[in-house]
Amino acid sequence: MTAVPVARTRPESAVVAEATRRRTFAVISHPDAGKSTLTEALALHAQVIGQAGAVHGKGDRRGTVSDWMDLERDRGISVTSAALQFAYRDTVINLLDTPGHADFSEDTYRVLAAVDCAVMLLDAAKGLEPQTLKLFDVCRHRGIPIITVVNKWDRPGLAALELMDEIQTRIQLKPTPLTWPVGEAGDFRGVLDRATGGFIRFSRTAGGVTRAPEEHLTADEASAQEGAAWTTAVEESELLELSEQDFNAETFLAGTSTPVLFASAFLNFGVGQLLDRIVDLAPAPSPRLSVSEVERPLDAPFSAFVFKVQAGMDRAHRDRLAYVRVCSGVFERGMVVTHSTSGRPFATKYAQQVFGRERSTIDRAYPGDVVGLVNAAALQVGDSLYVDEAVTYPPIPSFAPEHFVVVRAKDSGKYKQFRRGITQLEQEGVIQVLRSDLRGDQAPVLAAVGPMQFEVAEHRLAGEMSSPVVLDRLEYTTARRTEAEFVPALNSIPGVEVLERGDGVLLALIRDKWRLGTIRREHPEILLETLVAGGAE
Ligand code: G4P
């Protein structure tokens, strides 16, 4: 991992200067749009790695360093990474990893709480896909500006103007292309740079594993060499201009327009443009609002919040990492911070950066950076940490679960391990745990946004926590928040059951939407509130 030079002048101003040169973002996409490939290409372009394939360990270079990764490899999912940090031009880029599979959309939501910008990656042949739409909604909800990348332009796909139409009509986001492809999908020659009117020509490298060379040509040279493909690109770009689809910083930051780039992550085409645009356009970290809506200045004493907790990543260590995003001040490894939830001190002796199989020690971090705190048994997703002046950042809301199972220890002699394991998974946010007096502690209900979360829970309980379990599916498909006064009435309705989630929220599990409709009609007085939707709400 590239060492990032740090300024050592006056501490207050240095923090703001360091924050200003940070760009913290995540790539969101439907599975298979090319997120891992793009991540590799970005790292390659910034020369963090020598060859594509090194970060995620694709193909035969893929390694197994944890129990997790066996499961990840078998199922083709990625849940262990955190953030890749690298220096590019005069900035420090933090690329936060998001799980690719829709079943882990709650984790993605948490990661999005920690970024300042998102890159929405589309497959040129498929356009907007269900998971893209869902993730886009999350970004809109959080007010995160989005840069759109149309990927796989080296393969046949939809017409570029058609894709722009789709973005505009389906998600009401005005696309403002920064580059425009020269050559239709499947015949990717390069891009028209709409700001300069020049042509950026890409050339292939063997297997796309090294940085693709770029050649900059004038419009006249492009016209002479590319002929009709160039003319079409120019004409289409003019059409965009007529419909006022030129970049607008204000609407981009407000989340109502999206700059668009065309790329082939696989061939490393257009990746340099993306990095440059992230540096030039994506917002730097800004002061974050506390739960009481007070802004904590960037150069206030250190503060951060936990957006992800992960355990069982390393067979040898069985450690637990809490990933925090720094919001203000300087993090220095070894400093003692206060855990806002408990008021207790937390020593940060071990601090790491984790991406793919790579782990390295972090000694110092600034606003926008991600730090993995080791042995963080007390820290949970959403918790705040600070020094000096107290601050609590808003909690990260939990999603409405849509899948439910009853979980029991297979071996009743292992009840202690079972309880400990369930609590740990709950604290990490792997799964929601629901309890009620009726069901008792021996057989709580696990609730998930996607069923693959159960697989992860089952796998980890059996392996790492030595407590094999039996899961029994429950027939509920939806959950609504309610209040204690409505519990007796709800529990008396067939196909409804109220349980308490770990965060104290009372959830009414309901068999189906039809039943929900009936209850709403027949008992309008009962509170049945919709939670943040991860799924089909
Ligand atoms: P994901 O993380 O979003 O799920 O997608 P990933 O990068 O794994 O890419 C999914 C598939 O799409 C991979 O092919 C990858 O090589 C291919 N791909 C990604 N970007 C491009 C691109 O720009 N052009 C083309 N033509 N293909 C692209 P695969 O066959 O499923 O896997 P692999 O064997 O290549 O790893």
pLDDT digits (tens, 9 = 90+) for 106-125: 888 889 999 999 999 999 99
- Phi-psi bin for 61: left (phi > 0), alpha (psi -120 to 50), beta? alpha
22-281 matches 403-522 in fold:
no
Rounded to whole angstroms, how far apart are CA atoms 198 and 342? 58
- Is the distance from the beta carbon of residue 481 to the nearest atom of ligand 1 less than 6 Å? no
Q: Which fold has domain 22-281?
A: Rossmann fold (3.40.50)
Q: Which residue minimizes the CA distance to atom 34 of ligand 1?
A: 59
Q: Mean pLDDT in runs of 10 for the chain (537 residues)?
A: 45 84 93 86 73 45 39 46 81 85 79 94 93 84 92 94 94 95 90 95 74 87 93 95 93 95 92 94 96 93 92 62 93 92 87 67 90 83 94 87 93 87 87 91 91 89 88 94 95 94 92 93 93 49
We find that the CATH architecture of domain 403-522 is 2-Layer Sandwich (3.30)
Residues near 212 by Cβ (< 8 Å), separated by ≥ 6? 202, 203, 204, 205, 267, 268, 269, 271
Q: What is the pLDDT of residues 157-174, one digit of tens each?
A: 999 999 999 999 999 999
pLDDT at residue 63, as a whole number: 35
CB 260, CB 150: distance < 8 Å: yes
Q: What are phi and psi of 263, to 5 degrees?
A: -150, 165
Which amino acid would we find at residue 73?
Answer: R
Q: Is 155 in the pocket of ligand 1 (CB under 6 A)?
A: yes
For ligand 1, pick from 32, 101, 132, 154 the residue to mutate: most ligand atoms within 8 Å of CB. 32
- What residue segments make up the domains of the chain, in order of their start? 22-281, 288-386, 403-522
At CB < 8 A and 24+ separation, what contacts does 133-141 make? 133/170, 133/171, 134/102, 134/105, 134/534, 135/28, 135/29, 135/105, 135/108, 136/28, 136/171, 136/173, 138/105, 138/108, 138/109, 138/112, 139/28, 139/112, 139/255, 140/255, 141/532
Q: What is the pTM of this model?
A: 0.84
**CATH number attached to the domain at 288-386:** 2.40.30.10
Distance 150 CA to ligand 1 centre (A): 13
Task: Evaluate: CB of 129 within 6 angstroms of ligand 1.
Answer: no
Distance in angstroms (rounded) separating the CA atoms of residues 418 and 373: 25
Could you tell which of 123, 132, 266 is best to mutate to test the pocket of ligand 1, judged by most ligand atoms within 8 Å of the CB? 266
Instruction: Report d(CA 269, CA 148) in Å as an integer.
Output: 15
Answer yes or no: are the C-beta atoms of 94 and 83 closer than 8 Å.
yes
